[in-house]
């Protein structure tokens, strides 16, 4: 059985990462003829309602919110991600621990401390970061009806800065320009997937395109 790869898509709100996750999953299915499971964080665990209510504006301190995200992640990894990977299925996840680091640090929590918490969880085989300016991202966010507590330009800038610091302190984050067309962003991501995961043995030579 060929092993499945664990791919994470990261980026600020409005970066297009959710669209990319869906398109990249489609690309993997059709180019590699592989089984792909699409998921996202927060997962629909028992903690999901508390997290969504807090993001919608219900008062909860910032540390408690990020701890909830980590608890949700622990359940997500154990109950969903690990079993899929063990079955040989590829997993594409919209957000993972770098989101906790960036969003938590943007509220004043220790970025280094949050990064260290990532050692508790399974490491992705590849992390893609969709890079876009906070101004451009906010234009997309403003077209939505479901605004959240972090959806202001000032806070998006703090999150973007925290992502930059976290990426600099992390290993193997593949950055792509999120300002291009949906098709161009997906093609750039696919190029990265082939480059990185072929080298890790997830894509055999015979399937390299």
Question: Which tokens go with 170?
Answer: 């992390």
What's the pLDDT at 152? 81
95: alpha, beta or left? (left if phi > 0; alpha if psi -120 to 50):
left
What does the DSSP 8-state code read for residue 136?
Answer: H
Neighbouring CB atoms inside 10 A of 177's CB total: 11
What's the pLDDT at 60? 76
Residues of the chain with pLDDT > 70: what percent?
87
What's the pLDDT at 119? 93
Report the relative pairing of strands 126-131 and 6-10 from DSSP bridges.
parallel
Taking the C-alpha atoms of residue 41 and residue 73, their distance in angstroms, rounded to an integer, is 7
Looking at the structure, give the CATH architecture of the domain made up of residues 6-201: 3-Layer(aba) Sandwich (3.40)
Taking the C-alpha atoms of residue 102 and residue 166, their distance in angstroms, rounded to an integer, is 7
Average pLDDT of the residues in 113-139:
95
pTM of the entire predicted model? 0.90
What's the pLDDT at 64? 86
pLDDT in tens, 133-145: 999 988 887 766 5
Taking the C-alpha atoms of residue 142 and residue 64, their distance in angstroms, rounded to an integer, is 27
Question: Which tokens go with 115?
Answer: 């990064």
Question: Which tokens go with 93?
Answer: 């996840």
Confidence of residue 42 (pLDDT cuts 50, 70, 90): confident
What's the pLDDT at 157? 94
**pLDDT of residue 37 exceeding 90:** yes
What's the pLDDT at 207? 44
**pLDDT of residue 197 exceeding 60:** yes
**pLDDT of residue 1 exceeding 80:** no
**pLDDT of residue 48 exceeding 70:** no
pLDDT in tens, 179-189: 999 999 999 99
CA angle 190, 167, 65 (to 5 degrees): 105
pLDDT in tens, 71-116: 999 999 999 999 999 999 999 999 999 999 999 999 999 999 999 9
Ramachandran angles phi, psi of 43, nearest 5°: -80, 170
Confidence of residue 146 (pLDDT cuts 50, 70, 90): low
Ramachandran angles phi, psi of 143, nearest 5°: -85, -5
Taking the C-alpha atoms of residue 190 and residue 48, their distance in angstroms, rounded to an integer, is 31
Of 64, 1, 10, residue with least CA distance to 172: 10
Taking the C-alpha atoms of residue 101 and residue 109, their distance in angstroms, rounded to an integer, is 9
What's the pLDDT at 93? 98
């Amino acid at each position: 059985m060929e092993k499945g790869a664990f791919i994470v898509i990261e980026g600020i709100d409005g970066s297009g990462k959710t669209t990319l996750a869906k398109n990249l999953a489609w690309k993997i299915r059709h180019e590699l003829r592989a089984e792909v499971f699409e998921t996202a964080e927060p997962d629909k665990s028992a903690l999901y309602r508390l997290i969504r209510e807090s993001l919608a504006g219900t008062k909860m301190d910032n540390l408690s919110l990020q701890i909830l995200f980590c608890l949700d992640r622990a359940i997500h990894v154990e109950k969903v991600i690990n079993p899929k990977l063990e079955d040989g299925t590829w997993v594409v996840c919209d957000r993972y621990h770098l989101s906790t680091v960036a969003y938590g640090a943007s509220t004043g929590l220790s970025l280094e401390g949050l990064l260290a918490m990532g050692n508790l969880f399974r490491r992705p085989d590849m992390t893609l970061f969709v890079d876009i300016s906070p101004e451009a991202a906010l234009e997309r966010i403003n077209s939505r009806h479901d605004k959240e507590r972090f959806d202001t330009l000032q806070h998006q800038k703090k999150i973007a800065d925290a992502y930059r610091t976290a990426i600099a302190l992390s290993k193997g984050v593949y950055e792509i320009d999120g300002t291009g067309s949906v098709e161009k962003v997906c093609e750039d991501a696919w190029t990265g997937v082939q480059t990185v995961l072929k080298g890790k043995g997830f894509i055999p030579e015979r399937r390299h395109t």
